[in-house]
Amino acid sequence: MKKLTGLVPALLLSILTFAAEINFVSNLTWKQVKEKAKKENKMIFFDAYTSWCGPCKYLENSVYTDEAVATYFNANYINVKFDMEEGEGVKLSEEFDVTSYPTLLFFSAEGNLVHKSIGAMEAPQFIELGKNAKNPAMQYFTLKEKARKQLLTDADFVNWASMADQLEDPDKEPIIASWLALKPDILGNRDIAATVLMYTSELTDKQFSYLHQNKAKIEKLLGWDKEKTTSVLYNLLFSRAAIIYERTNNNIDSFRLGIRKFSPEKENYAVKDLQFRIAIQADKDNVKATALLIQYLKDVKQPLGIDDIAGWLLDYSSSFEKENYQAINAQLKLFKFRPLDKDKEYWLYLMQLVCEINLGNETAAKTVAEKAYRHPQLPAEYKKILADTYGLTP
């Protein structure tokens, strides 16, 4: 009896461990999964993964084994997983246009795709995703069909446009364009303005010109300051010019014209911005991107402000390796401030700080952090970060 009694805790632990896990059906084709869902009148949760995907493994090991997650998904869904690079998964990845991993798909009991999400998340957010997928008011593809038919309120359209942007839906632009065509004023209310400024770049020249002429109205409507409004309008202009660049077989003159038409003062910066983004994003060539940053720092004929150059390094710091930081840091130490850098000198110190941190030079990092901290124009948010990180005081 003692031996049998001793097994009880182990058996109980085994049962509890098994229960706290999403029950994925196996050894069924996609057709059979849909038949099962229809027969049981349950929606389908479809995990599109690959064997090498880190976030996929996080979901499997840390989220699917969460008791609350398992309880909710086992009660509400037929759960299935397909490796998108093996067997039937290859065909299904094409059918459902899966290009990022993990892609999480949700189907009605009739087998219709109703919701989609990309990327891993924590357990509470994953349960929320499962609930949204069952709610027609939150289902991405249900909202998309209503958006296509002009059946959404402005607020609901913004919600759909935000999801479409996150999912990089290729149908987003034409649907938004059709919706905007019915709006007499693209700054008519906060919802319309948010969609225009944050989720689309394919505006007509007339629409874009109207935005540029009404910066004050944008600031008041959305509660933005001048700096944010300028930044958003630049990014919108850059995206429009980049589309023209691609459509004209990478013609740089077409890109220049697209920028010059609305912001001629930004032409030099935008061309260099394009070069850098191609290197770091399209070509994934951090050596080329490093060379460009150094070139920009040395350029005296068409100089950029130190704040402009710093933006690229800070935004893409995770793309660089130690040797890149060594080369950039060496050039930063040779940099001499120009009149256009007045009141912006702290950007140089922040760039040096990023380099020293990534090179493991703690003493040097603290020295430049203090220089940045003491600069009278350093924004408050940066000041707080430096104070908290390095124990700096006024």
Q: Strand 43-49 and strand 103-107: pairing?
A: antiparallel
Average pLDDT over residues 203-217: 92
pTM tops 0.75: no
Q: Is residue 264 part of a domain?
A: no
Between CA 223 and CA 280 the distance in angstroms is: 32
Of 114, 135, 156, which residue sits at a domain end?
A: 135
Residue type, 256: R
What rounded mean pLDDT belongs to the chain? 92
- CA of residue 55 relative to chain centroid, distance: 15
Tokens of 339: 């009149």
| Per-residue confidence (pLDDT) for residue 202, from 0 to 100 | 84
Q: Is residue 351 part of a domain?
A: yes
Tokens 């990089």 identify what position? 168
| Chain segment 9-18, per-residue pLDDT in tens | 554 444 444 4
Quick one: which of 202, 195, 233 has its CA closest to 216? 233
Residue type, 207: Q
Where helices occur in 96-139 by DSSP H, the ranges are: 123-134
Do residues 289 and 279 lie in contact, with contact meaning Cβ atoms separated by under 8 Å? yes
Between CA 114 and CA 225 the distance in angstroms is: 38
Confidence grade of residue 19 (pLDDT, cut at 50, 70, 90): low
Tokens of 53: 């995907």
| Per-residue confidence (pLDDT) for residue 20, from 0 to 100 | 75
Of 78, 108, 135, which residue sits at a domain end?
A: 135
Q: Is residue 177 part of a domain?
A: no
Tokens of 65: 């084994």
Average pLDDT over residues 266-270: 96
pLDDT at 24 over 80: yes
CATH no. for residue 93?
3.40.30.10
Between CA 254 and CA 275 the distance in angstroms is: 14
Q: Is residue 131 part of a domain?
A: yes
Q: Is residue 229 part of a domain?
A: no
pLDDT at 301 over 50: yes
Structural domain total, the chain: 2
pLDDT at 336 over 70: yes
| Per-residue confidence (pLDDT) for residue 9, from 0 to 100 | 53
Q: Is residue 148 part of a domain?
A: no
| Chain segment 82-128, per-residue pLDDT in tens | 999 999 999 999 999 999 999 999 999 999 999 999 999 999 999 99
More confident residue, 211 or 7: 211
- CA of residue 261 relative to chain centroid, distance: 29
Average pLDDT over residues 37-58: 96
Enclosing domain of residue 376: 297-394
| Per-residue confidence (pLDDT) for residue 61, from 0 to 100 | 94
Confidence grade of residue 245 (pLDDT, cut at 50, 70, 90): very high
Between CA 340 and CA 343 the distance in angstroms is: 9
Per DSSP, the residues of 87-103 read: THHHHHHHHTT--SSSE
Between CA 125 and CA 136 the distance in angstroms is: 18
| Per-residue confidence (pLDDT) for residue 134, from 0 to 100 | 96
CA distances from 250 to 61, 70, 174, 245, 253 (A): 44, 50, 23, 5, 9
Q: Is residue 282 part of a domain?
A: no
Element (H, E) at 49: strand 43-49
Q: Is residue 114 part of a domain?
A: yes
Of 135, 162, 177, which residue sits at a domain end?
A: 135
